[in-house]
Amino acid sequence: MNLENPGKLIVFSAPSGSGKTTIVHHLLKQKELNLDFSISVTSREKRGNEVDGKDYHFISLEQFKKHIEAGEFVEWEEVYKDNFYGTLESEVERIWAEGKHAIFDIDVVGGLRIKKKFPEKTLAVFVKAPSLEAMELRLRARKTDSEEKIKERIAKAEREISYAGRFDVILVNDDLEAAKKEAETLVGNFISGK
C-alpha cells in the first residue's frame, strides 16, 4: 500500500447494536468530510436486504482463504466459526486513488489491527451503547437474528467492551443525534489535523 498517500483511515468499531452503522452512514452523507466506505469482504451469507458490493463483498470461504494466503488483507478475522471478515488492501487503495478518506464499519479486533498497522493515519472510534440491555433491545428490534444468534452477539459484546480503552475515542451512543454530531466533529478534526 502507498503510505505516502495523504488519505486517512477512520475506523468505527462496536459490538452489534451499538449504532455504529447508523453513525457511519450519517458521516458518509457529510460531503465536506470527503469519505468513502471501505467495503469489507465476508465469507458469511447475506442477511436481510444486504447488497453484494455495497454492504459487503460476499465470497466463499475458499476464496477468502486464498486472499489470506496471498497476503492481500490489511486485516482479517474469523469473527464467528467459518464467518470470516476482512479488508482488502485493494479496497483502501481504490478509495485513496479517488482522493478520499476510508471509513470503516468494522468489528473491534479488526479495528485495532488497522490502528496498530497504521497508527498515524488512523482514527479509531469505539461506539458504546449506554448499556448491554439497550444493545439487546436494538438487536431484537432489527428482527434479523435468531434467539441463539442474539445471545451469541451479547456474549461477544461483553468481551468487545473490554477493548474500548485501546481506541482513540469512546463515543457513547445514548442520544443518536448528539452521537452523530460528536462523530462529525471528531472526524473533521482528525482529517484537518486538529
Domains and CATH numbers, the chain: 9-192 (3.40.50.300)
pLDDT the model gives residue 44: 93
What type of residue sits at position 175? D
Higher pLDDT, 92 or 137: 92
Residues 6+ apart with CB under 8 A from 74: 1, 86, 87, 88, 89, 92, 113, 114, 117
The pLDDT score that the predictor gives to residue 79 is 80
* pTM for this model (two decimals): 0.86
Q: Are the C-beta atoms of 130 and 173 separated by less than 8 Å?
A: yes
pLDDT at residue 14, rounded to an integer: 87
Check: CB of residue 14 under 8 Å from CB of residue 126. Answer: yes
pLDDT band at 112; cut points 50, 70, 90 = very high
pLDDT in tens, 159-190: 888 899 999 999 999 899 999 999 999 999 99
Q: How far is the C-alpha of 183 from the C-alpha of 9, rounded, in Å?
A: 14
Cα–Cα distance for residue pair 24/102, rounded to 1 Å: 11
* Residue of 81 and 131 predicted with greater confidence: 81
For residues 137 and 7, the model is more confident at: 7
- pLDDT of residue 76 exceeding 90, the answer is yes
Give me the amino acid identity at 121.
Answer: K
36 has pLDDT over 80: yes
Would you state the pLDDT for residue 159?
Answer: 82
More confident residue, 57 or 156: 57
Specify the long-range contacts of residues 158-161, CB closer than 8 Å, at least 24 apart. Answer: 158/132, 160/13, 160/14, 160/15, 160/107, 160/108, 161/15, 161/128
